[in-house]
Amino acid sequence: MAGFRLSPVAEQDITAILAWAQLHFGEQVRLRYEALLVRAIQDVASNPRRAGCLSRPELTPNAFTYHLRFSRDQVPASIGRIRNPRHILLCRIVTDSCLEIARVLHHSMDLSRNLPEDHQAGP
């Protein structure tokens, strides 16, 4: 699997995360965090069963999470690495060839309260 799409909410999450990093830590840290986000999305899209992927069927069918720390060492040292990434990707497999990144959330957030509406588990 190599295809993926970002939900509109995930796009907003990423924009907010990068704006916060820029505001609080400056452009260099924002660029590093952006590189880490890109790497993590590429990693999980290429293999959604990779080490670090945690199945979350209680959230929605085919859902899993992936903490950015599992991709930290894949970012080139020349870009710089984030020592303690704080976000997770909330993903679901949509088809055999497409993965959806539903949210990018701080690891302290309650996942079930932050699911996009179309991801809510049915009764």
Number of Cα atoms under 13 Å in the Cβ half of residue 5 = 8
Any idea which fold 3-112 has?
Answer: YaeB-like fold (3.30.2310)
β-pairing verdict for 63-67 and 53-55: antiparallel
Reported as a single tens digit per residue, the pLDDT across 12-68 is 999 999 999 999 999 999 999 999 999 999 999 999 999 999 999 888 888 999 999
pTM score, whole prediction: 0.88
pLDDT in the model for residue 55: 93
- Among candidate residues 9, 15, 61, 65, the one with its CA nearest the CA of residue 40: 65
Pairwise CA distance, residues 26 & 111, whole Å: 28
Backbone angles phi, psi at 84, to 5 degrees: -130, 75
